[in-house]
Structure 1
């Protein structure tokens, strides 16, 4: 059937006629899969994937069963009821639900926040929300498309798709795929209503692929990202603070990052510490999310265990700073703008807006001060809210990480949570090289770092340690902030952008959150000091304060202490400080991952261009590195191929290519079929060179006429003789079939032979 002749509701795909209606249904299904992938991603993170799959399947069956029984208005009412019931179920799952469910203002405020960029993953009970909204998101578009209300179906599916675009939870690639599916569904639906030709389908395919190509290669802003869709196409390498120390509710883990040697703030403190900015509780495989809402400032209670008081006065040296770094746990603000300070859901002090250069504040922190013995005896009697919030691991990677962590803890004879934390911390330090120059892996970051990557930087180490501990039922969370910085006086530190860092906090009953740092500290200080010196020589502004330019302050006597990150700091009278990794081995006592009170000095930074062994960073071994395409790149490539095939079909190139392949290649079956196919190929070849066989003209008459007029090659006549023997005399000799196929192959290769000798 000619692609340009047939007009109707079916599309000819090879030997199969496919209804335009079902093409529209399938295309809408692609859109639904795009936005439902967000819900399945949510349940993979927090649990409930099997329940969600059952709900989706049941709703699809219900939509199919009611498509011919319910009127559109009745179906719309049912969809509304499904959504209302789902949202009520979600709000009843939230703590203090009886108050929340009665607060219409709270319901409206939450949904407005979602529509203005609040990720659904920040919702505390996001699993209940996903299960609640799934039936309505499935039923409405599915019912409508089966009822052949294509525009309304696309509108319903597009609304769900657009919702997740607004919340920021739908990736650019999924958005593109969902949009293509909606466009195709509308196009095929129009053809189903009005009839169409295969040529129109080709045009639709070309248009869809053109959308893909433009979205994948054209930057909206000149000089911006090369591609908003293809991964790894960012405009520039982000600084570490842009990557994860900006006090946002969501942190995406980057690939390679840069260092900033500029001063961010100074601290006057009774002792050095890690200046904590923010913590994150929910891991989604790509980064970290802080769930819950911030509250107005108020004094906070101290951790439940033994603590010591640390008073810090912080002065902003940068143009602006959207955070209030402080040692954990900040309990009260003794100076500063309390009215414009809030407390995050995980206990950090945050400014409303940003602090400006010259602004200062003073914080009193109660730092955990438990002994190693107390940590070992802490046990596992965790509060319910801690277990519910800090043991989550994406289900798709949990089992594999659990098995590896089991082997690590078993090898270290670790039985208590403290021993397991030490074992995991040491394993990461010993088995992963440190480098800021890496490629971001596809898929789950923690799983990739644990099993596939040989090197990484602090966010990779911390992410891996948190997920490994959570598979051991040890509550842990991801923390970002700054290391202590350059010590410029007995009680003063200068903190630069290169001091930004990520580490881990582990919860111990009756003690609280305790810091662990799995990132190896070996050559960091030397490299970072070199980075500062280079910036000074290049006259980079804001690299120093008046105090830091005079050098690092050290005590007048030499002393060595162990810091909470597992490094040893040696202060000598010569005025220098060095840091190095604590030696680990079977005869070395376990390290204490808590602030001992002093001993963190120098420019304790985060990144280095050398690996943990001190060698230059880079891939080991020779050869050409081979990069496998990502799933997104492979899918985009497949779509481009489809578009090229549709364009080739539209201009007739595909048909010509098909004829050429058919003419040159013959699969073998049985003698009779092989000889018949060989003669068909010969007839096609002769028709192209001379003329077609006329109706009623026998093969013998056809060949004889060509022979008499054009003196055609004798091989053609021999193929005709074999064809008559097999076709009319019943000969079924394999040898005859081989000869016929071979002769036609020769004639195809040497078309000039058709002109005779």
Structure 2
């Protein structure tokens, strides 16, 4: 084969490699924005439809790229986008009314461009499946047509849209940026036949971009670092209050967290209650999202069905606060804040502006008064919309959650007893702690099977998930507990009273509250936090009269009202819960529940202050997260490319090769010694020319006596065909000496 043919083959292979890298980068770019789409459909439904659309788009682009002009490709992409948008139009509420639907779509698009998460759209799964085909088709088409810049622009625009909606995480964005840069970089190298070294430099740069970018914040006001914090001073995100009530339309689930003892507001009311602030209907596996729009408060809100009792409340802010709590279910709001208040799709109140100290408003609430027996016979006549919205779970939710719930609630034959059994099981088998490590994956699954302790967010999230596996409508709710009662009709509510609980829907009654968080340990933790704050003379932890302790009324019987059970109902519900627990492996002695063994990781056990395992072995090291594995892999690839580019591996090999001769026959060892001598001389002077004998070469470069002696030994071994062990040892010692002192020794080599 001629030299020209060999070079041609190598050039073809190098070009193919660069093109493969360019297409691989295009695939990475497409995968980055598809990751968001698949997450949305996993949460909201429609993953099968999305897979079908994506595969069809990739196949179509691959088949048409050979002959389809770019103009027609743009037309096809526009058609795909229009069809996807129309499918969403037909799916939105009142979708059959065209004008109203288009108005809703236009509002959604504008909201998305200003930061609304896609998961807040009611039909988010249909939206994601309709959005994906157009950018997938066009990005892959342009990449196959070698229009790499156009491919990067289309894919980057799709990813940029998800950045605006805050649905793209850091790792997804970095992967997409690296993909876009790789498409252009490797594509241009392929088009202009760049050298392999250029590709290595590009790999190093892309790896550095991904690894170093999280260390530097270049976008002020991003989702992780907002320029204007929400919540109106309701505590930092590291507190329970900040994580729940300053989160807006989305509540993330955190790890270890603290309490704020500062007073937030006082309440004058004819009855104590949980002061509800917000509800969330969509569970993502790691957070809660409220879907639907808000509407201006127009003077009244519809009350719940069935019998109710009236609760009148007046809230007075004691500090800046950005939420508008009220007892469930608020029907009327009065006072100046009512003029610009709004109502969420889940009938929660939102202020137009954050309250400042002294601001006040009044609320009239109609609270359901159904008894346990009435709730047991409420039936399951749920509407399809209600079931679809409040029983939906991510498709990735492990099946073992449903199986465990089935066992726990085996003896419950109606939604109320099922809810009470789950509530009691969580309350009695899980411990309360603010010091936990946030698990990876589905939070409810991890809390159910891998954790022994948690706080209200974990309890409420898990209960809602368990109930939804039983097709019982349930949702996640945040707000404040009653707080400290300082008079017959007055309560002081602090940041540490922030809480999360569960609401379950019952026909002809509406939403009823359940609280699976252990009340005793939670109250003890809150009391300790308040006592410490008082001992340290912290400010704004008391109002007039609150330092004197709790005001205690004369005990009276209270109807359930969705709030308190009678003692008989508690006992009956508790017995049902014990029966379900017994079937799930728990034991009961005199009414005290001992939970079944829980498989717990060493990291979780260490966090919760419990032994990592029963055998008494030491705690295991925390396992890396998926993001850490991904960053580690990228760093390794970049490091490998850097090592290759810098010839560090070759130099390291040569240093070891110089110092270690093979253990072989004496003649072979002498020849190996001369090879190393040639390498040393080549580094210092030049390589031995073709046809130049060893003796001529050594004379030409002016080698010293040691080098000349190695040459003599080599000639004898080569031409005589043999060498002694003594000659081999001598050659090895001379080479070792030259290697050890090669810089000064080679400097003394003389030229003839």
TM-score under structure 2 length normalisation? 0.80
User: Hey, what's the Cα distance between the residues in 2 that align with 1:85 and 1:688?
Assistant: 68
| Bigger mean CA offset, 616-625 vs 342-351 | 616-625
Match of 2:359 in 1: 359
User: Hey, what's the Cα distance between the residues in 2 that align with 1:666 and 1:462?
Assistant: 69
1:288-299 → structure 2 map (5 Å cutoff): 288-298=288-298, 299=300
Q: Report the alpha carbon displacement of residue 370 of structure 1 after superposing the two structures with TM.
A: 1.3
User: Hey, what's the Cα distance between the residues in 2 that align with 1:565 and 1:452?
Assistant: 31
User: Hey, what's the Cα distance between the residues in 2 that align with 1:585 and 1:666?
Assistant: 81
Structure holding more helix per residue = 2
User: Hey, what's the Cα distance between the residues in 1 that align with 2:105 and 2:556?
Assistant: 61
Match of 1:731 in 2: none
1:656 paired with 2:651, answer yes
User: Hey, what's the Cα distance between the residues in 1 that align with 2:26 and 2:654?
Assistant: 34
Kindly indicate whether the alpha-carbon contact (under 8 Å) linking 1:713 and 1:753 is maintained by their aligned counterparts in 2: no
Q: Report the alpha carbon displacement of residue 358 of structure 1 after superposing the two structures with TM.
A: 1.4
Match of 1:258 in 2: 258
Structure 1 pair 654–510 and aligned structure 2 pair: CA distance change class (3 A): same
1:28 paired with 2:26, answer yes
Match of 1:274 in 2: 274
| Bigger mean CA offset, 149-158 vs 212-221 | 212-221
> Which of 45, 48, 52 lines up with 1:47 in the alignment?
45
Q: Report the alpha carbon displacement of residue 302 of structure 1 after superposing the two structures with TM.
A: 2.1
- Cα deviation code 1:703-754 (max 9, x no counterpart): xxx9997555999999989xx99xxxxxxxxxxxxxx9xx999999996399
User: Hey, what's the Cα distance between the residues in 2 that align with 1:9 and 1:361?
Assistant: 81
1:184 paired with 2:175, answer no
Q: Report the alpha carbon displacement of residue 398 of structure 1 after superposing the two structures with TM.
A: 4.1
Count of residue pairs the alignment pairs up: 683
1:156-175 → structure 2 map (5 Å cutoff): 156-175=154-173
User: Hey, what's the Cα distance between the residues in 2 that align with 1:454 and 1:749?
Assistant: 66
User: Hey, what's the Cα distance between the residues in 1 that align with 2:565 and 2:525?
Assistant: 16
Report the secondary structure of 1:321's partner residue: coil
Match of 1:626 in 2: 621
Q: Report the alpha carbon displacement of residue 651 of structure 1 after superposing the two structures with TM.
A: 2.0
Structure 1 pair 564–332 and aligned structure 2 pair: CA distance change class (3 A): closer
1:142-291 → structure 2 map (5 Å cutoff): 142-219=140-217, 238-246=238-246, 248-291=248-291
User: Hey, what's the Cα distance between the residues in 1 that align with 2:488 and 2:729?
Assistant: 92
User: Hey, what's the Cα distance between the residues in 1 that align with 2:607 and 2:148?
Assistant: 59
User: Hey, what's the Cα distance between the residues in 2 that align with 1:512 and 1:719?
Assistant: 100
- Cα deviation code 1:20-71 (max 9, x no counterpart): 2221111021111011001100111122212211211111010011112211
| Bigger mean CA offset, 354-363 vs 257-266 | 354-363
Report the secondary structure of 2:385's partner residue: helix
Unaligned runs of 5+ in 2: 1-5, 227-234, 582-605, 698-702, 740-752
Q: Report the alpha carbon displacement of residue 226 of structure 1 after superposing the two structures with TM.
A: 12
> Which of 661, 681, 688 lines up with 2:679 in the alignment?
688
Q: Report the alpha carbon displacement of residue 657 of structure 1 after superposing the two structures with TM.
A: 3.6
- Cα deviation code 1:366-415 (max 9, x no counterpart): 112111111212222211111010011111124231122222223xx123
User: Hey, what's the Cα distance between the residues in 1 that align with 2:364 and 2:157?
Assistant: 48
Match of 1:409 in 2: 409
| Bigger mean CA offset, 685-694 vs 493-502 | 685-694
Structure 1 pair 498–343 and aligned structure 2 pair: CA distance change class (3 A): same
Structure 1 pair 180–683 and aligned structure 2 pair: CA distance change class (3 A): farther
1:642 paired with 2:637, answer yes
1:529-678 → structure 2 map (5 Å cutoff): 529-555=527-553, 618-620=609-611, 623-657=618-652
Kindly indicate whether the alpha-carbon contact (under 8 Å) linking 2:281 and 2:290 is maintained by their aligned counterparts in 1: yes
User: Hey, what's the Cα distance between the residues in 1 that align with 2:378 and 2:659?
Assistant: 78
Report the secondary structure of 2:122's partner residue: coil
Structure 1 pair 253–226 and aligned structure 2 pair: CA distance change class (3 A): closer
Kindly indicate whether the alpha-carbon contact (under 8 Å) linking 2:409 and 2:580 is maintained by their aligned counterparts in 1: no
Match of 2:36 in 1: 38
Kindly indicate whether the alpha-carbon contact (under 8 Å) linking 1:522 and 1:581 is maintained by their aligned counterparts in 2: no
Structure 1 pair 17–81 and aligned structure 2 pair: CA distance change class (3 A): closer
How big is the alpha-carbon RMSD for the aligned residues of Structure 1 and Structure 2? Answer: 4.4
Report the secondary structure of 1:261's partner residue: coil
Structure 1 pair 391–378 and aligned structure 2 pair: CA distance change class (3 A): same
- Cα deviation code 1:258-292 (max 9, x no counterpart): 21111111111121111100000001112100000
Report the secondary structure of 1:265's partner residue: strand
Match of 1:301 in 2: 302
User: Hey, what's the Cα distance between the residues in 1 that align with 2:128 and 2:224?
Assistant: 34
User: Hey, what's the Cα distance between the residues in 2 that align with 1:324 and 1:455?
Assistant: 30
Q: Report the alpha carbon displacement of residue 213 of structure 1 after superposing the two structures with TM.
A: 3.4
Match of 1:63 in 2: 61
1:316-395 → structure 2 map (5 Å cutoff): 316-318=317-319, 320-395=320-395
Kindly indicate whether the alpha-carbon contact (under 8 Å) linking 1:11 and 1:198 is maintained by their aligned counterparts in 2: no
TM-score under structure 1 length normalisation? 0.80
Structure 1 pair 653–754 and aligned structure 2 pair: CA distance change class (3 A): closer
Q: Report the alpha carbon displacement of residue 658 of structure 1 after superposing the two structures with TM.
A: 5.1
User: Hey, what's the Cα distance between the residues in 2 that align with 1:712 and 1:93?
Assistant: 86
